[in-house]
Amino acid sequence: MTNQVSPRQPRMSRRLLSHSHHSAKTSEFSRGQLRIRGNTPRPGIRVLTVIGELDLATAPLLDRVVRDSESTPAMVVDMSEIGFLGFAGVDVLVRAAERADHCRRRFAVVVSTRPTQRVFELTDAYARMWCFPRVDIALCAVTDSGS
């Protein structure tokens, strides 16, 4: 009689927020099949980990979270846990990279899985933003470029 899938997701999000083990500032946002976990591992650097499906319906959430994080001098968007990436999601990232460039902020994207690589190959996204295969490399790039 009850749908177990729908009630489970909000409880999981609350549990993750209330039991955060990160010493850095963390936050979590979700909409449909998309979850975004944000943390600040070091002052001035924001890492957004995007999990699930990023499509036309969920891209506005990523846009809002990225815009809310643009006060930091450097941002890394980790796409390594994406199961599906639509063109709307790539558009959000391209526009964010353009804004960062215009404001002299550092912006990098982790593109490491086949779903993200394929969409980035079909667009000119690789040419329009810094892309790295791992978070640690992206963090080094946004840190070193500010020195």
Length of the chain: 147
Chain centroid to CA 72: 14
A 10 A CB-CB count for 136 gives 11
pLDDT in the model for residue 24:
57
* Residue of 24, 81, 98, 36 whose CA lies nearest to 61: 36
What pLDDT, on a 0 to 100 scale, did the predictor assign at position 7?
35
**Residue ranges in the chain modelled with pLDDT below 50:** 1-23, 147
pLDDT tens-place string over residues 65-88: 999 999 999 999 999 999 999 999
Closest CA to 99 of 135, 124, 128: 128
pTM recorded for the entire structure: 0.81
